[in-house]
Amino acid sequence: MKTEEDEAFEDLAKRQGDWGLQGSRKHQILRYAENAERNAVIEEVAQHLEKCSLAFGKDSIQSFTVYIRNMKK
């Protein structure tokens, strides 16, 4: 069952001409928001890891943070 909001987003997507190519506009917006939140969390983890002073050397820590940052979408 579609809500009025779903129908409005589908109508907008049809008028914009991208219907069927990448899903509805609503889902594109939701994916963007989810990726933005995910990327913010990943960056926060990398920043905390940079501050970490465990038994790893500085090069190892930098390698870990590069690996973590490459997980962003």
Structure tokens at 35: 């990726």
Q: Which residue has the tokens 């609503």?
A: 26
- Cβ of 45: how many Cβ atoms within 10 Å? 15
**39 vs 25 pLDDT, higher one:** 39
SS3 8: helix
Please identify which residue in the block is written with the tokens 């963007």.
32
Question: Mean pLDDT throughout 32-48?
Answer: 89
Are the CB atoms for 5 and 26 separated by under 8 Å? yes
Using the predicted structure, report yes or no on whether residue 15 has a pLDDT greater than 60: yes
**What does the pLDDT read at residue 20?**
53
| pLDDT band (50, 70, 90) for residue 7 | confident
